[in-house]
Each structure stands twice: as structure tokens, then as C-alpha cells.
Copies of this chain bind each other. A is one copy, B any other.
Amino acid sequence: MSQASFKEFLWKNYQIAFKNQDLLQEALTQRNYLNEHPQEHGRDYQRLEFLGDAVMQEAVTEYLFKRYPNWHEGQLTEMRITMVQTRSFAHFARVIHLDEGIRLGKGEEMNGARNRDSLLEDIWEAFIGALYLDQGSQVLRQLLEKTLFAAIDDNFFDQFIDFKSRLQERLQVKGAVAIEYVTLKEEVLPDHIQRFEVSVSVDGQELAQGSGRSIKDAEKAAARLALQELDNKK
């Protein structure tokens, strides 16, 4: 695990090689590392994080705006919130092996900061800021197409969405309603995996059925499908 292997990973998987290595170093350097290495004259990642935060927000906004021409601003905002958040950015920082490249202070290293979501989020934003400056918006966009944007099609962001709350909010717009989740079936598949089937009803009328490996997952799936049904009816 080293910066060299991170750079190799970036080149092999995304054909990205920084022209300005100092810029990449800045994005990967935590403040205490500099305190412990007074001979280094670089900066820590915080200025680049300031830039990258805005660059990420703009890139995701523009992508969603163009991808979903029929969504209204409320739907776009909801989707952006699920994509632009700590757990999401930390995940993609790990996907591109950014965690291997970070230059940490010793104390932070011992405290496990290298695997902490909040640090990985910061470093992801700083890296995006550096990439934007070094390679331009086209290369940045290509990286996001292969990571964050591709994840939409894999339903990756569903894990961050509370579909049951969202369904409730949607249905309660016109006043109080009774939403009921009923477990229809519970079975054990040959490989010892449990499978639940759940239906969701509002005021006694079934909206959708969902399945999952736990009752919670099945209810979430049912709520997600019910929301889709409601969207299609509009």
C-alpha cells in the first residue's frame, strides 16, 4: 500500500496521470503530516477541498439536470443529496484507491483515520479539485461517468435512501393516510438464505410488493416500487 500503487491504479484503470505532481501531493496531504515533516514546503489538502466540493456539486447537478429532463427540481435535489454525501464520496475514494495515497500524520494513522469516512470524503473532494485543475473538466467527467454516474444504473445510491419515509411523505401530502406493510411470505432458499415478501398498502389498497433477505429490506423494496408506481401514474 503506497502512493506508487495508487498512481499505478489510476493510470491502469482510468488512464489518468497528473502533469503537476505537486498538485496531486497537495490533495493527498493531511495537515499533521506537514507538521511532522517541516522540510516539506507544500500545503495540506484544504484549499483543494474547497474547490473540489464546488466542482463535485456542479458536476453532479449538471449530470442529473441533463439525464432527467422530466424531473422537477425537488426530485433532482433529492437525488443530488443522496449522491453528494460523506458515505458516497468515501465509498468512491476507496474504489479508486485514494486511501492508499493519503499522507497522514502518525497520530491520525494510529487512530485509523485512513479508513474514516469523513477524511476520505475530504480527500475525494481535494482530489477532484486537483484533477479538475490538472486535467480539465472533460477528464473529470470521464472519471465520474465510470464511478459516481455509473453507480446510478447499479442502484448503488438506494442504500442511502429511506424509501419508507419518502413514501410516507409523498402519501401524506393530501392529509393523513394509513400505510400498512404486511409480510406475505417467508422462505428459506436452498443456500440457507432467507427471503421475505412484503406488500405495502395505503388505506387498504395495495400499492406494491417487494422482496428481500430481511423484512426490513423487503419493506424498503416495496416502498421503492410503490414510489415508482406513483411516479408512473403522474
Residues of A within 8 A of B (CB): 46-47, 49-51, 53-55, 57-58, 61-62, 65, 71-73, 76-77
Closest residue on chain B to residue A50 by CB atoms: B73
8 additional A-B residue pairs with CB within 8 Å, beyond A46-B72, A49-B73, A55-B58: A47-B72, A50-B73, A54-B54, A54-B57, A55-B61, A57-B57, A57-B58, A58-B58
Contacts of A57 in B (CB 8 A): 54, 57-58
CB <8 Å contact, B54 and A61: yes
Task: Name 15 A/B residue pairs within 8 A (Cβ), A-sorted.
Answer: A46-B72, A47-B65, A47-B71, A47-B72, A47-B73, A49-B73, A50-B61, A50-B65, A50-B73, A51-B61, A51-B62, A51-B65, A53-B61, A54-B54, A57-B58
A68 to chain B, nearest CB (A): 10
Contacts of A77 in B (CB 8 A): 50
A77 to B54, CA, bound (A): 11
A65 to B52, CA, bound (A): 11
Contacts of A55 in B (CB 8 A): 58, 61-62
CB <8 Å contact, B46 and A73: yes
Closest residue on chain B to residue A71 by CB atoms: B47
Contacts of A73 in B (CB 8 A): 46-47, 49-50
A74 to chain B, nearest CB (A): 9
A49 to B53, CA, bound (A): 19
A214 to chain B, nearest CB (A): 36
